C-alpha cells in the first residue's frame, strides 16, 4: 500500500506538469528539455540508489526515506512545480530498486517472476489512480497527502531486517559482459518509446483533442496493462524470445503509421487514443519476457544490475526526450523512433541467436 500511494503521487506529478507546461508554452523544444532533465536525474538516481542498496543492509530505512523525500517534493510542488517535477525524477528512481531488493530477498526463487508481476500490478494501480485524478481532480494537496499516507504504511508494515550486501565487482563485471547486447538493445527500445510518449502530448494538440484525452489514454493504458500483467506469465512462458521480438516489431510499425498519418495531413482526432492503447499495452508482454529470460536468476549484485538496466532505460529516456524536441518537427521525431526500434530489434535478434549464449543465471 505504501508503494501504491507513492506511485499515485509520482504519476500525478509526471502527467500534470508536462501537459500544463506544453499547453502554456506550445514549445516542443522546451518540452524535450524539461523531460530530458527529468530523465537525466532519474538515470542518476537509478544508479546511485541501486549502488547504495547493494552496499548496505538497509531496506526499511530506504523505503521510509523514499516517502519522506516524497513529502518534501509534495510541499515544493505547491509552490514551484518545475523544481518539484525535476526532483521527482531523482527521488522516484529509488522506488524500483528498493522494492525490487525487498522482493528478491524475501521471495523464493520459484515465485520470483510472479512476485515481480504482482509488484508491477501494484504500480499500475497507482498509475491508474494518479491518471484519473490528473484528468478529473488535480488538487496539489492530494500529492502531499498521498506521500504522507505512504510514509505511515512504510513505517508500520515494511519489516525491519538486514538485507544482504550483494555488491561483487567481479561478478557484476562478468554479468555486464554477458548482458551488454541486451542492455544496448534495451536502450534503443526505451529511447524509441520515450519519443513516442513525449510526442503524444503535441500529437493530441495537432489532432485538435482536449487535454483530457491524454489523461484518459493513460488511465485506460494502465487498466489494460493491469490485466495483461495478470495473464502475461502464462501467455509468454516458453515463448519469451518470440514475444520480445514481436513487440519490438509491432511498435516500430505503429510509429511508422504515425509518420504516414501526419505527412498525409489526416486528422484522426480521438483515434490517437486507439494507437496509444495498442502501443502502450505491448510493454507488459515485453517486460515479462525480458525479466523472465535475462535477469530472474541473479544471485548477487541484484539491485545494481537492475539499477543498470534502469540506468540504460533512463539514459534512453534522456536522449529520447531531447531528440523529441531537438528538431521541433513531430514527423522527424517519429522517424527517429522507428529507426531506433529497428536497431533494437536487430541487436536483440543477434543476442538471441547466439549459439553459445549464456543467461544471467549462470
Q: Give the pTM.
A: 0.75
Domain ranges of the chain: 1-164, 167-351
Q: What is the pLDDT of residue 203?
A: 95
| pLDDT tens digits, 225-259 | 878 877 777 888 889 899 999 999 999 999 999 99
Gyration radius from the chain CA atoms: 20
Instruction: Examine the pLDDT at 141 and tell me if it is beyond 90.
Output: no
Q: What is the pLDDT of residue 162?
A: 64
C-alpha–C-alpha distance, residues 43 and 144, integer Å: 24
Alpha carbon distances (Å) from 166 to 5, 72, 146: 28, 30, 32
Alpha carbon distances (Å) from 176 to 63, 74, 314, 337, 344: 27, 37, 17, 26, 18
| pLDDT tens digits, 7-20 | 999 999 988 888 88
Nearest to 181 by CA among 294, 48, 292: 294
Kindly give, in sequence order, each residue whose CB lies less than 8 Å from that of residue 203, ignoring residues fewer than 6 positions away. 258, 272, 330
State the architecture of 1-164 in CATH terms.
Up-down Bundle (1.20)
Grid cell digits, residue 79: 509552490
Amino acid at each position: 500500500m505504501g508503494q501504491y500511494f507513492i506511485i499515485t503521487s509520482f504519476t500525478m506529478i509526471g502527467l500534470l506538469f508536462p501537459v500544463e507546461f506544453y499547453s502554456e508554452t506550445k514549445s516542443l523544444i522546451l518540452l524535450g528539455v524539461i523531460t530530458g532533465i527529468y530523465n537525466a536525474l532519474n538515470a542518476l538516481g537509478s544508479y546511485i540508489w541501486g549502488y547504495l542498496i547493494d552496499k548496505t543492509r538497509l531496506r526499511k530505512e530506504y523505503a521510509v526515506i523514499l516517502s519522506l523525500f516524497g513529502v518534501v517534493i509534495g510541499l515544493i510542488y505547491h509552490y514551484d512545480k518545475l523544481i518539484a517535477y525535476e526532483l521527482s525524477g531523482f527521488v522516484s528512481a529509488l522506488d524500483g530498486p528498493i522494492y525490487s531488493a525487498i522482493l528478491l530477498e524475501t521471495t523464493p526463487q520459484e515465485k520470483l517472476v510472479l512476485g515481480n508481476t504482482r509488484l508491477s500490478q501494484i504500480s499500475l494501480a497507482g498509475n491508474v489512480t494518479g491518471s484519473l485524478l490528473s484528468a478529473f481532480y488535480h488538487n496539489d494537496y492530494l500529492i502531499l497527502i498521498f506521500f504522507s499516507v505512504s510514509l505511515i504504511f512504510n513505517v508500520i508494515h515494511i519489516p525491519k531486517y538486514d538485507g544482504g550486501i550483494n555488491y561483487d565487482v567481479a561478478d557484476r563485471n562478468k554479468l555486464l559482459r554477458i548482458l551488454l547486447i541486451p542492455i544496448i538493445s534495451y536502450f534503443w527500445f526505451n529511447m524509441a518509446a520515450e519519443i513516442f510518449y513525449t510526442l503524444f502530448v503535441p500529437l493530441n494538440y495537432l489532432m485538435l483533442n482536449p487535454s483530457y484525452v491524454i489523461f484518459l489514454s493513460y488511465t485506460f493504458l494502465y487498466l489494460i496493462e493491469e490485466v495483461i500483467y495478470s495473464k502475461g506469465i502464462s501467455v509468454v512462458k516458453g515463448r519469451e524470445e518470440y514475444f520480445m521480438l514481436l513487440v519490438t516489431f509491432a511498435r516500430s510499425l505503429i510509429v511508422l503509421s504515425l509518420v504516414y498519418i501526419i505527412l498525409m495531413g489526416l486528422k484522426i482526432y480521438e483515434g490517437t487514443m486507439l494507437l496509444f492503447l495498442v502501443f502502450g499495452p505491448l510493454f507488459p508482454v515485453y517486460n515479462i519476457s525480458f525479466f523472465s529470460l535475462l535477469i530472474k536468476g541473479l544471485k548477487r549484485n541484484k539491485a545494481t544490475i537492475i539499477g543498470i538496466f534502469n540506468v540504460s532505460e533512463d539514459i534512453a529516456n534522456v536522449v529520447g526526450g531531447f531528440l523529441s524536441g531537438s528538431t521541433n518537427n513531430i514527423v522527424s521525431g517519429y522517424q527517429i523512433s522507428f529507426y531506433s526500434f529497428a536497431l533494437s530489434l536487430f541487436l536483440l535478434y543477434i543476442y538471441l541467436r547466439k549459439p553459445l549464449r549464456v543467461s544471467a543465471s549462470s
